Every structure is written in structure tokens, then in C-alpha cells.
Amino acid sequence: MAISSINNFIFEVRRCQPELVGPRKATPHEFKQLSDIDDQESFRFHVPIVHFYKHNPNMEGKDPAKVIKKTLAETLVFYYPLAGRLREGPGRKLFVECTGEGVLFIEADADVTLEEFGDALQSQYTYLDDILYNVPNSDGIVNCPLLLIQVTRLKCGGFIFALRINHTMTDAFGLLSFMTAMAEIAQGASTPSVLPVWQRALLNARDPPRVTCIHREYDQLPNTENIIPLSEMAHRSVFFDQTEISALRKTLPAHLHHCSSFDLITACLWRTRTIALQPHPDDEMRLLCIVNLRSKSNYLPSGYYGNAFAFPAAVTTAGKLSQNPLGYAVELIRKAKAEMSEEYIKSVADLMVIERRPNLTAVRSYAVSDVTRAGFDEVDFGWGKAIFAGPAVGGVATVPGLTSFYVPFTNRKGEKGTVVPFCLPAPAMDRFVVQLDALFKSQPLVEVQNYHKPPFIPSTL
């Protein structure tokens, strides 16, 4: 049993004992090597994803936990490497032993309704341990379950589907393929519409490896900063609707008016965040743009569910970023994103082998990932689409909270937009809110996640 406080209400979670769920029938016992893109030091951590579902009268009498558990066993027949365990070979090279041991599954009940969550739907950090229990000794990288799922029934008839996946096994698009397969099987399909493909050798280093691109995201810099634990950071979410995005666009020169909403939001957050952190004007600041190869080429087969993205970096000094208009940051971001290609990601794989898997540069870095079009909210186990879905908190193995994920959201006024959960040291967060409010004097952007304020009820409920 766990007790959590969100805003001004308390809720209680009662969990059953965690159990292992394996494939419904026997699967091959074999060994599968990860790619050199999968096998990065920066990916040796677990990613939490959370989905909220409303009560559906058409599913009366059906238990979402039982449905999802049965579906999980069926889906693991096709995605059987996820039921195995990672092993570590010479040089810390990772491979999967397909043992069929299974993934962790937890059934739970919470004495709370979806309406009571209010704006806390946008940022689950304060209660994540309750809706996604960290089973002791389960969150290691090797010799541990690769996936953990908790289904929490709510007293309103809705439920929360939360999972935690070992990032070395898959990225957001690969995970979505697995979840989509689960949803299809839950609704009666005998096989997924797109069968999973391993073929991790496609993203292995070349022979001989050769670094052909510049990778500022892996610059090895001395870290003189104090790393603040995630639990001691201030957590907020920023909601951008079309009104704010249009206002930002009007500040740009004419040749940038057709830039993407992602570029605008990212430029705004990176610049404002830098001002709030108050670095020395000559300090280099990095913006790591997470760009997936799948969106850039047809190099990978349909059904490939390994990691297939890179972090091309925009780099400038804090002084230039803070003192120049927003268009300056937009130009840097567009240039960084344009670097992503088949050659770029192959160069990253080669760099991993040559430099023995260097970690991402965490010093004065900020990474962003757009999952607004990934389709997490489209996953339907029979109860309808999720009212909110996406990664709960971002980071890399050494620096939790480094990454912000852009998630689709409908606010309490019924306006559709993008919500960006992120964290900063508390004094910097206060300055960030002031800076962003100043940017939008007439209509501040920040819907501050002050967990002691009364909750609001999103219009989607």
C-alpha cells in the first residue's frame, strides 16, 4: 500500500504482488545482439510511459488488468526478446538471451477518480512510484526484466496503464509498435498487423568503422557543475496552444514563418531556460534534437523496433543565445535537425565502437523529443483512446531530467496543443516562469504545476 499527495487530495493505491508474465507458448531460446546504436552508455536506463483511460460503459464487466495481462502473454509470442534478459559480453557489449522468463506485471487499485487528478495528468513525477511501482532489484540493466507493466483501476471505472522499458531494447517508435500490437490483439486480432523485425545488425558499426560526421553531442567536457537529484528539482509543465505558437511565429523574420511548431517551441524553451540558468555568457550551451531515422529515410524495414535515432546538437554560447532574437535559436535548431541522415546515424555507430561508447554531453545540455505525432494516445485496448499518454519523465543514464518530451494535450478550455513537462533547480525555475510570462505579457504560457494549488479538470474528462 502507498499513500500519495497530489495538489490538495490524498489517494491510496493497493497493489497485488508483482508477477512474471511470459509468452503464452514456447518461443526460441537464442541469443540476439543489440546494435551499436542500442548499445550506448546513454541508453542504460529505464523509460516510464503513462496512459490514462476513461470508463467505457461498453466494457462493463471487463477488467482492464485481466484483459491486458492476457494480451501481454499473447503479444510476447511475437516480441519474445522482451521476455528475455540482457547479458553483458566482452567490452560490456550487450546481447539478449531469449529465456522466455517474462516481464513484470502488477495489478492495482486506486481510491481516486480521473477527475481528481486534474492538471496532475500532465506531469506524473510526484506520484509515479505509486502508479508504476519500482519492484526491488528490477531496474538493473543486465539480468533483470526488460519491461514492467502496472495496470491501476480507478474508482470511476477508468484505469492507468503504466510501463517501464529498458531503453537499450527500443525507442519510442519501437515501443509504440509493441503497444499497438497489444491493442490489436486485445481487440481480437490473432497476429499484429505489422510483425516485429529484429535485424539489429543494420545499425551496427561499419568494418572498419569510420566517423564521417561531427558529433558535438558527444564532446567530452569536464563537468564542474553539481548534479542535482531529480527528486530535488522543481517540476513544471508548459502548455502551448495555437495562439501562443502564432504569437511566437510573428516574432520571426519572414523566411522563418513556415518553420515547424517544434522549432518554435524548442527555440523558446531553450532560450528562456538558458536565461533562467544564468550561465557565464561565454559558456557553451547545447540543444540535443532527438531525430528518428524512420522519419528521414526508408532504410529500416517496417516492424524494426530497435533504437533508430540520434542527437544532432545545436551549439552556441549562452550570451549569443540570450541576447539574440528567437530566430537565431530557430536557425540553429533547423540546421541541427537537417544533419540527421543514414550517414549520420552510421557515423554515430562507428563513434560508439571507436571511442568505446562515450556518454552524451550532459554539461549545459538540454535534449528535446517530439512525440506529439507518435500515436501513444491512439493505443486502444478496448476502452477507447487514452485521454493523456506519453513519457513520464525524461533523461539519460547519468543525468535524469535532461530530456523534455513534447506530448499532445487538450487543456481545460478545450484547446488542443502541446504540453512539455520539464524540471530545473528551484531558483532557476522561478526565473524561468518570470521570463516566459514576460514573453507573453497579455497571456502567460505557463500553467504552473504547483502541487499545492487546487486541481483543474481537463476538458477531455
DSSP codes joined into one string, 217-259: GG------SPPPPGGGSEEEEEEEEHHHHHHHHHTS-GGGTT-
Residue 110: CA atoms inside 13 Å, Cβ hemisphere, count?
Answer: 33
| pLDDT band of 407, cuts 50, 70, 90 | confident
**Interval 237-264 mean pLDDT:** 90
Helices (H), 251-364: 261-277, 318-323, 326-338, 342-354
According to CATH, where is 3.30.559.10 located in the chain? 13-203, 225-442
CATH class of 13-203: alpha beta
SS3 of 269, please?
helix
Report the 10 Å Cβ neighbour count for 244.
24
| Selected catalytic residue, list 109, 219, 283, 380 | 380
pLDDT at 396 over 60: no
Residues of the chain with pLDDT > 70, as a percent, come to 88
Report the 10 Å Cβ neighbour count for 380.
16
307 contacts 35 by C-beta, under 8 angstroms: yes
Distance CA 15, CA 109 (A): 7
235 is catalytic: no
**Interval 109-136 mean pLDDT:** 84
**Interval 179-199 mean pLDDT:** 97
Angle at 213 between CA 212 and CA 214, to 5 degrees: 135
pLDDT at 281 over 90: yes
**Interval 229-256 mean pLDDT:** 86
| Pick from 225, 263, 242, 170: nearest CA to 361 | 225
The confidence score (pLDDT) of residue 459 equals 26
**Interval 171-199 mean pLDDT:** 97
The confidence score (pLDDT) of residue 140 equals 94
The confidence score (pLDDT) of residue 262 equals 94
Cell 486502444 sits on residue: 380
pLDDT top residue among 341 and 297: 341
| Pick from 213, 279, 230, 400: nearest CA to 270 | 279
121 contacts 458 by C-beta, under 8 angstroms: yes
403 contacts 368 by C-beta, under 8 angstroms: yes
| pLDDT band of 277, cuts 50, 70, 90 | very high
For the chain, give the mean pLDDT: 88
- Measured between alpha carbons, how far apart are the two ends of the chain, in Å? 27
- Mean pLDDT lowest for which of 9-13, 80-84, 235-239, 449-453? 449-453
The cell numbers describing 113, all together, are 477518480
Q: How far is CA 436 from CA 27, 194, 325, 444, in A?
A: 53, 43, 14, 7
79 contacts 71 by C-beta, under 8 angstroms: no
| Selected catalytic residue, list 46, 51, 167, 215 | 167
The confidence score (pLDDT) of residue 390 equals 85
**Interval 18-26 mean pLDDT:** 98
pLDDT at 53 over 50: yes
- Give, to the nearest 10 degrees, the angle between helix 261-277 and helix 242-250: 80
Residues 6+ apart with CB under 8 A from 204: 35, 36, 349
The confidence score (pLDDT) of residue 7 equals 47
SS3 of 363, please?
coil
Tell me which H or E stretch contains 410.
strand 403-410
The confidence score (pLDDT) of residue 446 equals 40
**Interval 54-75 mean pLDDT:** 97
207 is catalytic: no
CATH class of 225-442: alpha beta
The cell numbers describing 124, all together, are 506524473
353 contacts 209 by C-beta, under 8 angstroms: yes
pLDDT top residue among 383 and 232: 383
**Interval 192-218 mean pLDDT:** 97
